[in-house]
Amino acid sequence: MTVSTAPSRTEIVREADGYDHATIYNGEQRLHVVVRGEGPLVLLVHGFPEAWFCWRNQIDAIAAAGYTVAAPDMRGYGRSSKPDAVEDYIVTKLVDDCAVMVEALGHDEATIMGHDWGAMVAWTAAWTRPELFTAVVGMSVPFGGRGLIPIGGVDSFGTRRPSVVQREIAGPDKLFYQEYWSKPGALESEFETDPRGFLRGQYFSFSGGPYPDDFQAPDPLATTPSQIAEQIRNGGVCMDLDAKFSDGHVIPEADPDWLAADLDDYVREFTRTGLRAPLNWYRAMDKSWEELAPFEDKPVEVPALFIGADLDVATQWGAEAVAAFDRTVPQHRPSVVLEKCGHWFSRERPAETTAAMLDFLAGLEQR
């Protein structure tokens, strides 16, 4: 094990897994970042409930293509700090963490790529700090403006406070999942009762696994706003008032290979850390919406790519937002929609996901 020290209170340790593990400090917040390679910086931002190692299938390939790859445990996750206050998870603070990582690793700029909540952070970083985050790839979730996650037929561009949008989606007799997840202790108690069962159900239910092999998915980007709204209201993400979220989980008879490969790691990680801090990202959405008011109506002005999947509900919900990219993300590349996979496509379809990421990076080099 070797140890080196970089500027800005950054310690870098080569660990037994062969990766450099950096500890970077943003004020009082400690950020754990896995680093590999040399060259222009590519920052990979995970979502919920994942960790730096959701990018295992991408890190080495991107580094081998001539880039420095940095994959953090984001604030609230893994080996990074977990502050108590909801205000500490406002999206602009998550972006600031990313900015500190870029500087601490000795770079002037970075391409930022994110999946799920990581996509919302990545879009916001490129939107609000284009001088630093000079290109962006959003995966699963397209650009949603102040609202962070776009929901066609209800609010795709962040024109209203997220909690108001969530209430409208569900109506008086149900709860939208984000509203339930924001209730202190609700989802945490489901997880703590059975961590492995909860995570197994969460990952499988939102993958392509529940669909039969011969299922022909329609083009998710062709979904109309009214169809999206109806799908959400009638789907499992709108819950009965007395239900638990995990009541809607689909449990596999046997774990698919992609899930079996890393389920033990996720169970170990979240059994140690719990879900309270990651769920604060959802609980801070209204505060994030308020903080982003100065950027309303401003487009994302850097080169951008959206990667989705045909069986991913977030891709389906974002069809209206993607259709508006000529206005909201004018330097966007043609969107990539991966087939026969769901929300976790960096794990379900790692080769195709990596190829799309590398193609985008190669295009930047050719500018």
> What domains sit in the chain, N to C, each tagged with a CATH number?
3-365 (3.40.50.1820)
- pLDDT at residue 1, rounded to an integer: 32
What one-letter code names the amino acid at 320?
Answer: E
Active-site choice (32, 115, 249, 343): 343
Catalytic-residue membership of 265: no
Both tokens of residue 296? 């309303």
- pLDDT at residue 229, rounded to an integer: 87
Catalytic-residue membership of 255: no
- pLDDT at residue 366, rounded to an integer: 74
- pLDDT at residue 235, rounded to an integer: 81
**H-state helical runs in the chain:** 56-64, 91-104, 117-128, 162-170, 177-181, 186-193, 195-205, 225-234, 257-260, 263-273, 276-283, 285-291, 313-317, 319-323, 325-328, 345-348, 350-365
Both tokens of residue 34? 């896995």
pTM of the model: 0.96
Active-site choice (96, 116, 155, 312): 116
SS3 content of the chain, % helix, strand, coil (to 5): 45, 20, 40
The residues of the chain scoring below 50 in pLDDT are 1-7
Rounded Cα distance between 350 and 204, Å, is 16
